Amino acid sequence: MSRGYTPLTDPLAAYVASVTLREPDPLRQLRESTENHPRASMQIAPEQGQFLHVLVKLIHARKALEIGVFMGYSSTWVALAMPPGSRLVACESSAEYAAIARNTWKAAGVDEMVELRIGPALDSLRRLVAEGHAGTFDFVFIDADKANYSNYYDLAFELAKPGGLIAADNTLWDGDVADPTVQDADTEAIRAFNRKLYADTRVALTLATIGDGVTLACKL
């Protein structure tokens, strides 16, 4: 054990991947085929995907929710961790990206597990509450527009069951959250989100410094 942090250099990151990463072929193919996509940075890192996969396995999740699907990379990792008969509700605003995600789910053999809801995520989440899904989700992953992170969290908390886990990506925001000279709207939104969760005594909280930071909040 150590009280400090081991700096993750490029060689060390490559080593970690070489001894831990077990990326399924459909996900590797998606990642490689979209490497030069202008918005490729919106996709989580393989190590983050596997991290979510292990978390979902650990909590034996059977009902999951993703806010911000993009091309289906993270949702596929999550779905692959759940047993047959489970349900993943995937909220995505872009029909273009949703079409790619559908292909990804099908290639990975999890398409029948996924319920896709296309449209503004806040509307989709409010409909889930209205339909009686409050307090029923084992796992929620937030990875959408940063301006609404706080609103997504409020609805995710309502939808999560006691003991459910809420994960949020990009909470380190490339380190900008710790730089007071950076004051753009997205950075301020992430800072506000981090402060909000820190003050929320209804959850057990930690921030995993993997990728761009993944905050984990367990509903008490």
Q: How many CA atoms lie within 13 A of 214 on its CB side?
A: 22
Contact partners, residue 12, CB within 8 Å, separation at least 6:
6
- Percentage of the residues of the chain whose pLDDT score is greater than 70: 99
| CB neighbour burial string for 158-189, b if at least 16 within 10 angstroms, e if fewer | bbbeeebbbbbbbbbbeebbeeeeeeeeebeb
Question: Mean of the per-residue pLDDT values for the chain?
Answer: 96
Looking at residue 91, what is its pLDDT? 98
Between helix 73-80 and helix 25-33 the angle, nearest 10°, is: 170
For 171-214, the pLDDT digits (tens) are 999 999 999 999 999 999 999 999 999 999 999 999 999 999 99
- Percentage of the residues of the chain whose pLDDT score is greater than 90: 91
- Fold for domain 25-35+44-219? Rossmann fold (3.40.50)
Q: Indicate the pLDDT class of residue 1, thresholds 50, 70 and 90.
A: low
Contact partners, residue 135, CB within 8 Å, separation at least 6:
158, 159, 160, 161, 162
The backbone torsions φ and ψ at residue 94, rounded to the nearest 5 degrees and listed phi first, read -100, 120
Where in the chain are the domains? 25-35+44-219
Q: Provide the terminal-to-terminal Cα distance of the chain, rounded to the nearest Å.
A: 28
Task: List C-alpha distances in Å: 133 to 156, 158, 176.
Answer: 11, 9, 36
For residue 144, pLDDT over 80 is answered with yes
According to DSSP, residue 44 is labeled P
